[in-house]
Amino acid sequence: MTAFPAGTILGYPRIGRRRELKRAVEAHWSGALDEAGLESVAADLRRTTRARLADLGLGRDDSSIPETFSFYDQVLDVAAAVGALPERFAHLRAEDGSVPLSALFAAARGVGEAAPLEMTKWFDTNYHYLVPEIGPETRFALSSDRFARQVAESVADGYVTRPVLVGPVTFLALAKGTDAAAPGARPLDRLDDLLLVYVELLAALRAAGAQWVQIDEPALVSQSLGYSDDELATAAARALDVLTVSDDRPAILVAAGYGALSAPAWRALAASAAEGLAIDLTRGGVPSPVAGLDGKVIVAGVVDGRNVWRGDLAGAADVLDAVGGLGAAAVAVGTSTSLQHVPHDLADEPDLDPRLVSWLAFADQKVSQVTTLARGLADGRDAIAGELDAATAALADRRSAPGVRDGAVRARAGALTPADRSRTPFEVRAAAQDAVLGLPALPTTTIGSFPQTAEIRRARARATRGEIDEATYEGFLRDEIARVIALQEDIGLDVLVHGEPERNDMVQYFAENLDGFAVTRNGWVQSYGSRATRPSILWGDVSRPAPITVPWAAYAQSLSAAPVKGMLTGPVTILAWSFVRDDQPLGETADQVALALRDEIADLERAGIAIVQVDEPALRELLPLRTADQPAYLDWSVGSFRLATAGAADETQIHTHLCYSEFGVVIDAIAALDADVTSIEAARSRGEVISEVAASGFAHGIGPGVYDIHSPRVPSVDEVSSLLERAVAELDVRRLWVNPDCGLKTRGYDETVASLRHIVAAARAVRAEV
């Protein structure tokens, strides 16, 4: 076996430090950049990445630099390489059967009548992958040489790098089955067929010059994919049996980030003939000794790939020592996951407080941590004493810095009692709210945002750059709000919104207005495809220096006799879409955010707002991957929502909004939120979720989305009416609301107005019948 290097990372951000890939890909889609031009930007980006990683201390020719470039998504790349794109894209293949870039993008974005692959969350991250569709009709065949070409490209540049593939078990476990005729048949049943293609793929990588290949199998840490621990472990054992039979392949490093391996998976991997195992040591402790490690290298994932903290380097060195006791042939230093979930480089953040910067590590800083620890393994701890001490000092500084612990915030949180998280019974509240609001049956409303036009974005950018003064910008926003209110009155909606024109993002906006958060200038992280977000950094105790949304809501309400909903983002979503402090339990941080929101709701009430919506679209996505961890999560997440909302008067109607239709998994939690009205996604599943809600006995207000805002399509009045009729038939009509699936931010005005008019017409027609 070729020796494995002393340190590595499991992956690196691939969008470019200035989002070069986004710009190039979008230019290509718009026709402004041809395919050759796009390929050349991509090759430059890969070159820059390799050179940067070598500069940071990873070896040029020892397989320590991973090749994790992707034009769109790593799961899609494998689907294309193994010939697993659905039949509806078959006509886009080249004559030799290979999958060109245009077919890859078509599968990601749809083309003509062919709908794109679905997109969903990658494990418990904010990254979205494309869901492969696998059935008995899927004919696996090696269909792209892209992976091998990248290896060859690196060799030509004088490197020996390590290609990275989503592994066969994870690829299938993440797929959805297409066989309606055999609902029992599952994608993982196709493992043996798929393995034959992986064998070919590995041989091609070897031929191109790869000495090691990384096979990512994070499915082995999850209990949320519909397969048991044993099924996944057995599949992994089978896969590695087949993949290691031939010598015509690189050495195999199996990597399983995003959590601790299940016990059966750990045993199966150890017993396999894979030459290396990369495990996540930031979640869960060092695993127990197990047979089969003696011939293997263990890549100990002690540097956290999921957060932005510099962390406890000396603690990581201790963990490495403990891993040394497992009896593996060698131990190397690694990251817990790919670094694709963190921004590129702190050096790109000139506006951040230097003291905060000293506590942080972005991707490049984490690479340096890996190389430092690797030096410590090789030369002994004394050799890196300076670095360890500096990290320890930064940690101590962080613990004692002003703002990290705020006495007033802590005193308030410490005095909370269960009563602070509960309201009077729903029926009592509902009667009080009906009396105040006087809404018709099947009230119509929207989820909050109206289209963010180019004009709005331009005005915001100019205000940020100081090109227009604050008063001018505020005047612009007020005009926008007035326009949106008038439009909603014209359409005939019953409950109005102000449209959220002041928000760049539903989390960042609150982060910018709360103490305890910092926002970055270039801290982009890929969300999906060409989209990236800039998560805020929640570093200290959270408090609200001043009301945030109240002036906008009050102004909007002053313009209309109809109720205007106040619009807040809930504590769980604020945490989920930020980089959160790691020095206290998430539940404590969530409660601090909740108290700030609670004060905001009280101020909204005082300003005459009768309905407040607290969005929690991320409630589902933070759900732990392992079932044993889920009750504790649901306890604090639901508790923080209740803390945020339970101070409201009985007459104040609390709404919440969740952006998914997998209602079933978290139905009890949704009921436990105790909101008066909950809006959920339903249009895409043609209302299936309505039956689930009915079956669950959920008895509070519910607004199943009747308009799929993910598509520019305008639903007809009949279409909306039939969804509403289904809802009326299955649910209590007194509790039913009529609304789109989600906010309208990404839509254009034409289709928005047409769709909302159809929704109102349908609601009125159905209302007349009930």
Interaction partner, residue 745 (Zn ion, ligand GLN, none; CB < 5-8 Å by kind): ligand GLN
Q: Does 13 bind ligand GLN (CB under 6 A)?
A: no
Of 102, 641, 703, 245, which is closest to residue 443 (Cα–Cα)?
703
Identity at 421, one-letter amino acid code: R
d(CA 121, CA 131): 10
Q: 103 or 532, CB closer to ligand GLN? A: 532
Q: Does 567 bind ligand GLN (CB under 6 A)?
A: yes
Q: Which string of x and - marks every residue 719-748 that binds ligand GLN (by CB under 6 A)?
A: -----------------------xx-x---
Task: Give residues 661-700 in contact with ligand GLN (rule: CB under 6 A).
Answer: none
Half-sphere exposure of 588 (CA within 13 A, CB side): 17
Q: 234 or 739, CB closer to ligand GLN? A: 739
Nearest distance in Å: CB 657, Zn ion: 5
Interaction partner, residue 506 (Zn ion, ligand GLN, none; CB < 5-8 Å by kind): ligand GLN
Q: Does 553 bind ligand GLN (CB under 6 A)?
A: no
Are 224 and 172 contacting, i.e. CB atoms less than 8 angstroms apart? no
64 C-beta neighbours (distance < 10 Å), count:
26
Residues 6+ apart with CB under 8 A from 282: 301, 302, 303, 304, 305, 306, 336
Give the 3-state DSSP-derived string for 385-434, with helices as H, strands as E and coil as C: HHHHHHHHHHHHHHHHCECCECHHHHHHHHCCCHHHHCCCCHHHHHHHHH
Nearest distance in Å: CB 577, ligand GLN: 9
Interaction partner, residue 163 (Zn ion, ligand GLN, none; CB < 5-8 Å by kind): none
Residues 6+ apart with CB under 8 A from 623: 124, 224, 630, 633, 634, 665, 666
Are 506 and 531 contacting, i.e. CB atoms less than 8 angstroms apart? no
Residue ranges that bind Zn ion, judged by CB under 5 A: 617, 659, 742
Contact stretch for ligand GLN (CB under 6 A) within 61-69, 222-230, 441-449, 729-737: 441-449
Q: 69 or 450, CB closer to ligand GLN? A: 450
Residues 6+ apart with CB under 8 A from 176: 118, 131, 132, 133, 134, 187
Single residue of 449, 578, 589, 653 touching ligand GLN by CB under 6 A: 449
Q: Which string of x and - marks every residue 611-650 that binds ligand GLN (by CB under 6 A)?
A: ----x-x---------------------------------
Half-sphere exposure of 419 (CA within 13 A, CB side): 1
* Burial environment of residue 152 by CB neighbours within 10 A (0 to 12, 13 to 18, 19 or more): middle
Q: Does 447 bind ligand GLN (CB under 6 A)?
A: yes
Q: 349 or 615, CB closer to ligand GLN? A: 615
Of 394, 256, 258, 381, which is closest to residue 316 (Cα–Cα)?
381
d(CA 568, CA 342): 26
Compute CA distances 319 → 301, 489, 770, whole Å.
10, 62, 65
Nearest distance in Å: CB 320, ligand GLN: 40
Interaction partner, residue 449 (Zn ion, ligand GLN, none; CB < 5-8 Å by kind): ligand GLN
Nearest distance in Å: CB 727, ligand GLN: 20
d(CA 146, CA 79): 12
Single residue of 448, 570, 703, 715 touching ligand GLN by CB under 6 A: 448
Compute CA distances 40 → 25, 45, 369, whole Å.
11, 9, 31
CA 523 from chain centre, in angstroms, equals 15
Residues 6+ apart with CB under 8 A from 747: 451, 709, 712
d(CA 103, CA 101): 5
Q: Helix, strand, or coil here: 251?
A: strand
Nearest distance in Å: CB 500, Zn ion: 12
Are 270 and 277 contacting, i.e. CB atoms less than 8 angstroms apart? yes
Q: Which string of x and - marks every residue 182-211 that binds ligand GLN (by CB under 6 A)?
A: ------------------------------
Nearest distance in Å: CB 517, Zn ion: 22
Q: Does 451 bind ligand GLN (CB under 6 A)?
A: no
Q: 164 or 659, CB closer to Zn ion? A: 659
Nearest distance in Å: CB 657, ligand GLN: 5
Point out the residue whose Cβ comes nearest to ligand GLN.
743
- Retrieve residue 435's tokens: 């009396």
Task: Give residues 589-618 in contact with ligand GLN (rule: CB under 6 A).
Answer: 615, 617
d(CA 593, CA 576): 12
d(CA 183, CA 296): 40
Q: 104 or 614, CB closer to ligand GLN? A: 614
Q: Could you tell me the end-to-end alpha-carbon distance of the chain, in angstroms, rounded to an integer?
A: 74
Interaction partner, residue 567 (Zn ion, ligand GLN, none; CB < 5-8 Å by kind): ligand GLN
| Catalytic residue from among 128, 655, 700, 710 | 710
Compute CA distances 750 → 120, 484, 492, 714, 757, whole Å.
28, 14, 17, 9, 11
Nearest distance in Å: CB 577, Zn ion: 13
Q: 659 or 683, CB closer to Zn ion? A: 659
Q: 339 or 572, CB closer to Zn ion? A: 572
# of chain residues touching ligand GLN (CB under 6 A): 13
Q: 126 or 336, CB closer to ligand GLN? A: 126
Nearest distance in Å: CB 628, Zn ion: 29
Nearest distance in Å: CB 136, ligand GLN: 36
Nearest distance in Å: CB 362, ligand GLN: 26
Of 337, 281, 348, which is closest to residue 307 (Cα–Cα)?
337
Q: 268 or 738, CB closer to Zn ion? A: 738
Q: Which string of x and - marks every residue 480-509 that binds ligand GLN (by CB under 6 A)?
A: --------------------x-----x---
Q: Is 710 a catalytic residue?
A: yes
Q: Helix, strand, or coil here: 14?
A: coil
Q: 659 or 706, CB closer to ligand GLN? A: 659
d(CA 114, CA 95): 20
Task: Give residues 305-344 in contact with ligand GLN (rule: CB under 6 A).
Answer: none
List of residues contacting ligand GLN (CB under 6 A): 447-449, 500, 506, 567, 615, 617, 657, 659, 742-743, 745
| Residues noted as catalytic | 710
